[in-house]
Structure 1
Amino acid sequence: MAGRLLALIIKEFLALFRDKKSRLAVIVPPILQLIIFGYAATFDLEHATLAIFNEDSGGFSRDLAARFERSSAFDVVGYPRSEAEIAPLIDSLGTLLVLRIGEQCSQQVAQGESCPIQVLIDGRNSNTAMLALNYVRSIVTDFNQEKATLRGAGLPARLTMRAWFNPNLESRWFIVPGIIALLAMIVTLVVTALSVAREREAGTFDQLLVTPLHPWEIMIGKAMPGLIVGVGEATLIIAVTVFWFKVPLVGKLSVLYPALIIYVLSIIGVGLMISSFSATLQQALLGSFLFIVPAVILSGFSTPIANMPEFMQALTYLDPMRYFLTIVRRVFLEGAGLEYFIHDLWPMSIIALVTLVLATWLFRHRMY
């Protein structure tokens, strides 16, 4: 059996890389897309989650906190009671930023001094962080002007900011790691979706039926090139991300690659399902792009999932890119370990298992 599988896998690689155009199609377009996205893509923000850590009990601090609570730009999601509660809240994506009002703030303002206010912000999504900081500045500025007019003195609040995970809030640090998930999906899906359709269009599909290979063996032979190409393509893109775009890889590759393999397997399952339905290469390509566009939109790559309607948010749980996008960004920017991704790994594993089983069943059904 191993010899038959190896022969089929070699045959698939020869079919994929037998001419120069096919080799260039697998390598060059993803690199060009990576460069274009890396320099050109930007995002917008509509909502921002906020936690308020008020160490002062005076009237001034309560008025300032109330100004943020009434703002339509923020949703207050918590009130930490100690400094130790801040880090877990940001690490777990529980809030985008924490407004920290210092001790004796109201007393300092009453004495004619400025009150220190600190904003701790999650810098993993730098574009979102910068937009959120603009909202904070606007609210504090308006509040300062109002209080200064009433007091006839200088500005009462002095704002300082600190971004976590992305100190300089470089948008490329957020965008480019996400492109790893995007391009790995595109390349893997196209390679696997064309595999069976290519056989049918070339007239060699019937030859597979007379071989001693079982349907599941043929599926493994079709899946292995996609797995190798997908992981290899992702490796190339990771190298470009680190060495060309200088995005720091804080985490370990030993954490990233198990998730990458599961992600690629889930895409292979989808690609083989599309290939089983397709009778021509054109149908396979159309089916691939019919999946790619919704998958990218629902993943949160281009628009925040929190801004989507509830029924659309429910659909995102069927998208494997949603889960891997979170994993790759957290590994790159914060160095998170596998223990932080259990809630992302098991849904992605189920998607991979279901799609591969369905692809095998569809392939068997179309054979007989």
Structure 2
Amino acid sequence: MQTLRRLAALVLKELLTIMKDPKSRFVVIGPPIIQFFVFSYGATFDLENVRYAVLDECRSVLSRSFLAEVEGSGRFIRTEYLENAGQVNESIDNEKARLVIHIGPQFEEDLRSGQPAQIQIIADGKSPNVAMIAIGYLGTIVENFNETLWEQGITPIGGPGLALVERAWFNENLSSRWFMVSALGGVISTVVVMILTSLSVAREREFGTFDQLLVAPFSPLEILAGKSIPGIVFGMLDALIFAGGAVLWFHIPFRGTIIALMVSLLSFIITIVGIGLLVSSLSTTMQQGLLGAFLFLMPAITLSGLATPVENMPVWLQRADMFNPVRHIITALRRIFLEGADLATVWPQIWPLLIMACITLPLAAWLFRRRSV
């Protein structure tokens, strides 16, 4: 009984300590509620508004009828109408479309003559989940369209009708391992760097060595730089080891350039170091630093597009997710590994990281100087 009473007293003490501290009280109540709604909107495998382009070489009544079925399904949104096959590469490479629907010139003639007609679907294989689900949606539309053709007497019941021909670019077998492993270096280095840097300044305060650090012959900027460099070094080392392991152990193709990989990773890790130091500068204990790191890591990784497509999210959440550095590095890594991107190709993912680094690092330095006075 005495053991239970002591245990109850200890539990009560911890509960009162948490509830009396405004920061701890907010952490256990506010963020879980926010994350519940954010994750519920962001983590879904259902696809809506899948971007697609059309190359219709037939331009007939039946081809327009099929495309109207696709448009009216509510799952797809047409972004381009291509004039020739040479535009297919540009549409998918620039991510204007997730897939291209190619209708050949003999489409209507084949259907009306009782021959099997084919529609080619060229999908972006960098996101195999999206490609497979989107192709599944198109398969249902094709089945419904075939039933309509039978009812209209254009094709006989049980006849050849319309069939899909699927082709995936950048990931021909739609292997989910290629999709996941190519991005893991960025995700795991995020966790490592965030934990290291978010605890660096808070550790000094908790251990009582912060004042000793301030009276040492170092300026606040030098101290901050000294705490940044180890995180950058370990983060780059981990990310490069994971990239090498993806190629050598898991046989993930590396089609891009080393320069694009190095610049993307370095820009990303510097950004994460800035966020980690910002969290550490705001924290007075290691526990607060860990909680701050957790509050960043959970939504950043969940909403990064690692497992579920960013396009699934509501528009407002997609726009807010542009400030998520993990989203940009995952996109860059997949384009470098699978698409063969060079530095110019992944620049749209690099410049947002550089802007975030230019904001978080000076802000962390300012907070460090302000709280050290």
Give the alignment's TM-score, normalised by structure 1: 0.85
Distance, in Å, in 1 between the alignment partners of 2:270 and 2:147 is: 57
Deviates more, 1:125-134 or 1:242-251: 242-251
Letter in 1 for 2:108: S
Alpha-carbon contact 1:148-1:155 (below 8 Å) kept: no
CA contact (8 A) 2:193 2:232 kept: yes
Shift in Å, 1:308: 2.3
1:86 correspondence with 2:91:
no
Pick one of 132, 149, 154 that aligns with 1:151. 154
Residue of structure 2 equivalent to 1:271: 276
SS of the aligned residue for 2:346 comes to: helix
CA 1:156–1:222: 2 relative to 1, 3 Å? same
Q: 2:47 is matched with which residue? A: 46
1:98 equivalent among 97, 100, 117: 100
Cα separation, 2, equivalents of 1:316 and 1:69: 27
* Aligned-partner Cα distance in 1 for 2:44–2:179: 10
**Offset of residue 152 of structure 1:** 5.3
1:176 equivalent in structure 2: 181
1:212 equivalent in structure 2: 217
> Relative to 1, partners in 2 of residues 1:311 and 1:65: Cα closer, same or farther, differing over 3 Å?
closer
What CA distance in whole angstroms lies between the structure 2 residues aligned with 1:320 and 1:108? 50
Match of 1:69 among 55, 66, 71: 71
Q: 2:305 is paired with a residue of what secondary structure?
A: coil
The partner residue of 2:362 within 336, 350, 357 is 357
1:324 corresponds to which residue?
Answer: 329
Confirm or deny: 8 A CA contact 2:111 2:155 kept in the other structure.
no
The size of the alignment, in residue pairs, is 327
Structure 1 residues without counterparts, runs of 5 or longer: 1-41
For the 8 Å contact 1:56–1:103, the answer to whether it is kept is yes
One of 216, 223, 227 as aligned partner of 2:228 = 223
Question: Hey, what's the Cα distance between the residues in 2 that align with 1:190 and 1:252?
Answer: 29
- Which secondary structure does the structure 2 equivalent of 1:158 belong to? strand
SS in 2 for 1:151: coil
Does structure 1 retain, via aligned residues, the 8 Å contact 2:45–2:312? Answer: no
- Residue type matched to 1:144 in 2? N
Output the CA distance in 2 between the equivalents of 1:268 and 1:172. 28
Correspondence for 1:7:
none
| TM-score normalised per structure 2 | 0.84
Work out the CA distance in 1 between the residues paired with 2:305 and 2:171: 19
Give me the whole-angstrom Cα distance separating, in 1, the residues matched to 2:208 and 2:294. Answer: 24
Matched, 1:295 2:297: no
1:109 equivalent in structure 2: 111
Report the secondary structure of 2:97's partner residue.
coil
Q: Aligned-pair distance for 1:43?
A: 7.1
Regions of 4+ moved over 3 Å: none
1:269-314 Cα distance to aligned partner (Å, 9 max, x none): 1111111111211111111101111212332334333232333223
**Match of residue 36 from structure 2:** none
AA of the residue aligned to 1:71: S
Amino acid at match of 1:346: W
1:60 CA displacement:
2.0
Measured on the aligned residues, the alpha-carbon RMSD in Å equals: 1.6
AA paired with 1:277?
L
Distance 1:308 1:358 in 2: 30
Pairwise CA distance, 1:85? 1.2
> Aligned AA for 1:165?
F
Residue 87 of structure 1: how far off its partner (Å): 1.0
Matched, 1:312 2:317: yes
Q: Which amino acid aligns with 2:300?
A: A
Percent identity of equivalent pairs: 40
Partner of 1:6: none
Instruction: After superposing the two structures, state which structure 1 stretch, 169-178 or 107-116, moved more.
Output: 107-116
State how far apart, in whole Å, the 2-side matches of 1:84 and 1:166 are.
Answer: 20
Once residues 135 and 312 of structure 1 are traced to their aligned partners in structure 2, the CA distance between those partners, rounded to angstroms, is 24
| Residues 241-275 of structure 1 deviation map (CA, whole Å, 9 limit, x = unaligned) | 22232211111222111110110000001111111
CA distance in 2, matches of 1:135, 1:274: 44
- Code of the residue aligned with 1:243 in structure 2: it is L
- On the 8 A contact 1:145/1:155 being kept in 2, the answer is no
Give 1:215's aligned amino acid. Answer: P
| CA shift in 2, pair 1:214/1:152, >3 Å | closer
Q: Which residue of 1 aligns with 2:371?
A: 366
Structure 2: runs of 5 or more not aligned: 1-42
Give the Cα separation in 1 of the matches to 2:163 and 2:128: 23
